[in-house]
Amino acid sequence: MTSQNPEVKLLGAWASPYVARARIALHLKEVQYEFLEEKFSAKSELLLKSNPVYKKIPVLIHDGKSVCESMIIVQYIDDVWASSGPALMPGDAYERAMHRFWTIYIDNKFIPSLFDMMTSPTEEAKVEAKEQTMASLQLLEEAFGKISKGKPFFGGDTIGYLDIALGSFLGWMKAFEEMNSPKLLDKSNTPLLCAWAENICNNEAVSAVLPETAKLVEFATVTQTRFKYAPPAK
């Protein structure tokens, strides 16, 4: 998906899993768009203008109007291009509520502990983050068993809203494993999520978006070094 549709633009950065969410949704819905790469070290005037409240990526610009926050963007894409590609949200109201519930859990519990496992300043904090991360994955394993109803994805036969929310972080999970973190998805502990991860990564809409593990490891290493030797804030 490139710049063949000037009415749809996405502001983002290649390494951001939140940006990956929007890109996966656009690819699943077969929406052609222009990807405008933002730098992590500086915010463009277009970004500041398009998201004056949070001043962060991703931002979807459609017909000159801005939509912010990754999962709001995913929902917007599902609503606007409802007739294209698979529906990202279930038709049943309770199932939609469950997708939203677990997406909030991922953002508020799982993702913070995942990154704390690598960035916490003390070993004690890292151990605590690891325990929280593994406990979160066990809960998500149980949730998958209930929500998927024996099918390949949280969304059933096709990738859905909750699949995008969690699947966008698979690249970073693999990168952290390469950086000496524990095995996050293991067939002995999370067999359902292991199979799910393989299925979702084999989907072209996802594989085209998730960065290579080696590139993420390099990016994370450089970023950690930069913060380690940065001068103290004044």
Asked if residue 232 belongs to a domain, the reply is no
Q: Which domain holds residue 75?
A: 8-80
Least confident of 46-50, 82-86, 181-185, 211-215: 181-185
Asked if residue 149 belongs to a domain, the reply is yes
Give me the pLDDT at residue 229, please.
Answer: 33
The answer to whether residues 181 and 153 belong to one domain is yes
pLDDT tens digits, residue range 197-234?
999 999 999 999 999 999 999 999 887 755 443 333 32
CATH code for the domain of 131: 1.20.1050.10
Neighbours of 71 (CB within 10 A): 22
The answer to whether residues 169 and 53 belong to one domain is no
Domain edge (last residue) among 80, 108, 128? 80
Burial readout 144-181 (b: 16 or more C-beta within 10 A, e: otherwise): beebbeeebbbbbeebbbbbbbbbbbbbbbbbbeeeeb
The answer to whether residues 72 and 166 belong to one domain is no
Q: What is the mean pLDDT of residues 63-79?
A: 97
Whole-angstrom Cα distance, residue 156 to residue 153?
5
Helix segments in 149-212, DSSP class H: 161-167, 170-178, 191-201, 204-207
Say what the pTM is. Answer: 0.92
Is the pLDDT confidence value at 119 over 90? no
The answer to whether residues 97 and 52 belong to one domain is no
CATH code for the domain of 39: 3.40.30.10
Give me the pLDDT at residue 1, please.
Answer: 44
